[in-house]
C-alpha cells in the first residue's frame, strides 16, 4: 500500500523502488518456499490435482484485505487516497481469458516465472522470454488496441459501489466465503491444512 505514502510525501521515487525490491524478494522467497517455482504444481490446480496455489493466493488476498481495511478503520490508511484502477470490462474479460489459458499451458504466471528463472529452470526461462516478447509486441502495436483497452469502462468501482453496504460488511462476507472455500477444499482433497505437502514429498 505505497500509494498513500507516496501521495503524502513519506516515500519518494527512490523509496518506492527500494521497498518494491524488498517486498519483491520476500514475496519471491515465499513463492519458492511454497513450491510455486514449479510449473507442475501450478498447473495441477487446473486439473484438480493440487490446490495449494489456490489456497495460498486466496489466503494472501484475504489477509491483505483484512489488514488494508483494518488499517482504514484504525485511521492508519486513508482509503480515499489509495489509487484504484478503472474497471474496463471487455479488456478485463479478454485479458483474464488469455492470462488463464497461458498459465494453464505454461504452468507459470509472471511472478512465478521469475522465481523459476532464479532457481535455474529452463521452462521458466522460456515462459519469461515469451512474456517479454508478447509485451514488446503489444507495446509496438498498442495504437491498434487502444480503443478496445478503454471499452466497457465502469470507473474505479468496489463491491459496496455496486451492491451497497459498507466496506466492513463486504470484508466480512468475503472472509467468510473464503474460509468456507478453504475448508471445503481441504475436506474434498483430504488435507487438513492449506500448506500441507503431499505424502512422500
- Cα dihedral 8/20/31/192 (nearest 10): -10
- The predicted pLDDT at position 191 comes to 53
Q: Please list the residues that pair with 153 across neighbouring strands.
A: 88
| Residue whose C-alpha cell is 493440487 | 50
| Residue whose C-alpha cell is 522470454 | 129
| Statement: the pTM of the whole predicted model exceeds 0.75 | no
Task: Calculate ∠ Cα 73-79-80, nearest 5°.
Answer: 135
- The predicted pLDDT at position 192 comes to 45
- The predicted pLDDT at position 137 comes to 92
At residue 78, what are phi and psi to the nearest 5 degrees?
Answer: -95, 105
Mean pLDDT per 10-residue section of the chain, whose length is 201 residues: 59 78 86 80 76 80 87 76 81 90 84 87 89 91 89 86 87 90 78 49 52
- The predicted pLDDT at position 87 comes to 86
- The predicted pLDDT at position 7 comes to 66
Domain ranges of the chain: 34-83+158-196, 85-156
Residue 109 vs residues 44, 59, 188, 192: alpha-carbon distances, Å: 14, 18, 26, 27
What does the DSSP 8-state code read for residue 152? T
Amino acid at each position: 500500500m505505497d500509494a498513500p505514502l507516496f501521495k503524502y510525501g513519506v516515500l519518494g521515487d527512490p523509496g518506492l523502488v527500494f521497498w518494491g525490491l524488498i517486498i519483491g524478494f520476500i514475496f519471491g522467497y515465499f513463492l519458492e518456499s511454497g513450491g510455486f517455482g514449479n510449473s507442475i504444481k501450478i498447473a495441477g490446480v487446473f486439473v484438480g490435482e493440487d490446490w495449494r496455489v489456490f489456497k495460498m493466493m486466496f489466503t494472501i488476498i484475504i489477509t491483505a484485505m483484512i489488514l488494508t481495511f483494518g488499517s482504514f478503520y484504525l485511521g492508519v490508511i486513508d482509503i480515499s487516497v489509495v489509487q484504484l484502477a478503472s474497471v474496463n470490462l471487455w479488456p478485463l474479460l479478454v485479458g483474464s481469458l488469455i492470462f488463464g489459458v497461458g498459465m494453464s499451458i505454461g504452468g507459470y504466471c509472471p511472478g512465478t516465472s521469475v522465481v523459476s528463472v532464479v532457481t535455474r529452470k529452463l521452462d521458466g526461462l522460456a515462459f519469461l522470454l515469451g512474456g517479454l516478447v508478447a509485451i514488446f509486441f503489444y507495446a509496438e502495436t498498442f495504437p491498434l488496441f487502444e480503443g478496445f483497452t478503454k471499452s466497457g469502462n465502469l470507473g474505479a468501482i468496489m463491491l459496496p459501489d455496486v451492491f451497497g453496504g459498507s466496506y466492513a460488511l463486504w470484508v466480512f462476507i468475503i472472509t467468510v466465503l473464503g474460509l468456507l472455500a478453504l475448508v471445503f477444499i481441504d475436506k474434498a482433497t483430504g488435507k487438513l491444512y492449506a500448506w500441507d505437502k503431499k505424502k512422500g514429498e
